Chain A
Amino acid sequence: MNNRYEQSDPEDAALAQRIAAARPGSDAEAEAELYRRLAPRVRFYGLKHLRDEQAARDLVQQVLMMTLERLRAGKVREPERLASFVFGMCRMVVLDLRRTYARRERLLETYAGDVSAADPASSPRLDHGRLMQCLDGLGERERTVLIMTFYDDRGSSDVARALALSEANVRVIRHRGLQRLRDCVTGGMAS
């Protein structure tokens, strides 16, 4: 399949080739650097598929340890296409973690009385005071659509149904609102 977003990072490939060429585990510098580069990407994949900070961190550890082990053992056939290899690993480990976290959810439900109702907030990467001000600066429709969308990550069809708007209209409002919100939060650096 032809990927219109095909991307191979030469620095990733160079690091992968260094690790594969070295005596297993001996190029600690290349391994640390590759870990540092890949960790945020795998973490985001985890957030998307597991919607949980802790689970995303677990994914990073498992996927990157397995990737380094395979590289050390010379079992990555195309180091220059490392992203494809990591992608495959992510898919596999996410399935495992889903099962683990489903069990955890069941335990939490069983012992719900012993834990706080609201889930622990993820470590804030944004200034929430600033975000609140920026939300206040939006038009009513933009604010409503963004809140109803991102509170629990709903697609445009859900939001359109709730507000009796068309999906296309929701997407337009969402796009405009997001642009304004990101510009406000980043002081214009986003656009």
Chain B
Amino acid sequence: MSRSRCGAPVEFPTLVGYWLDELDEARAGEVEEHLLGCDECTATAQSLADLSAGIRSLVDRGAVQAVVTDSFVKRIAKRGLRLREYTVPPGGSVNCTFAPDDDVLVTRLEAPLDGIGHVDLLVSDASGREQHRFRDVPFDAAAREIVLTSRSPDIRALPASTLLMRLIAVEGESERILGDYTFHHRPWEGR
């Protein structure tokens, strides 16, 4: 028998709200009863659960490069992942590495963020050649830092090298440097 079609599909945002416990009890119950009678909506809901499991797995393997928050870093640490963290002030530099048993590299760029609307993060090589620009990164100004996770396999593959990061406040057409940060990377050589 083939998968039956649904006559009154649950809207996707409602399925998302259901999965994330955002619906009230009565509505969640309606959705659940529907799903238990419906192949099509269950398949859609399952695809959401699969995305969720996939994201969790990628983060746990240190395979995601993203701007996050301090509270998120605490959540991944709580799951038992081994973090290597570097905190750098504006204008600062740090010698850094990544050990074989580290799971996730966390970089904290301190910056005065009060009153700033939009921030870009530039990553360049030692000569200043731009490698990547993270546009309009999310941040909590009160935290006074931008927190970045890097992709572990990429970091492990890096030779000894220097990497530059720059935070830029963007207001319309104008840009203002908030801080420059220098990372002197060395491959892991053991303790």
Contacts and interface: CB of A to CB of B under 8 A. Distances in A.
Contact of A42 (B26, B36, B54, B65): B36
A107 interface: no
Interface stretch (B72-80, B91-99, B160-168): B72-80
Interface stretch (A18-26, A68-76, A96-104, A152-160): A152-160
Interface of B: 1, 4, 6-8, 10, 12-13, 16, 18-22, 26, 30-39, 41-43, 45-60, 63-69, 71-72, 75-76, 79-81, 134-142
A75 to B, nearest CB: 18
Contacts of B135: 139-140
A147 B51 CA distance: 10
A190 B58 contact: no
Interface of chain A, main secondary structure: helix
Given A40-B42, A128-B57, A144-B67, A5 B34 contact: yes
Interface of chain B, main secondary structure: helix
Contacts of A41: 35-39, 42
A82 B6 CA distance: 16
A68 B75 CA distance: 42
Contacts of A3: 30, 33-34
Interface of A: 1, 3-9, 11-12, 33, 37-38, 40-42, 44-45, 47-48, 82-84, 86-87, 90, 117-119, 121-122, 124-126, 128, 131-132, 135-136, 139-141, 143-156, 162-165, 171, 174-175, 178, 181-182, 185-186, 190
A48 B19 contact: yes
A5 B49 CA distance: 20
A140 B67 contact: yes
7 contacts: A4-B8, A5-B33, A118-B60, A124-B53, A125-B53, A143-B66, A147-B68
B37 A148 contact: no
A148 B72 contact: yes
A9 B41 CA distance: 12
Contacts of A139: 135-136
B38 A126 contact: no
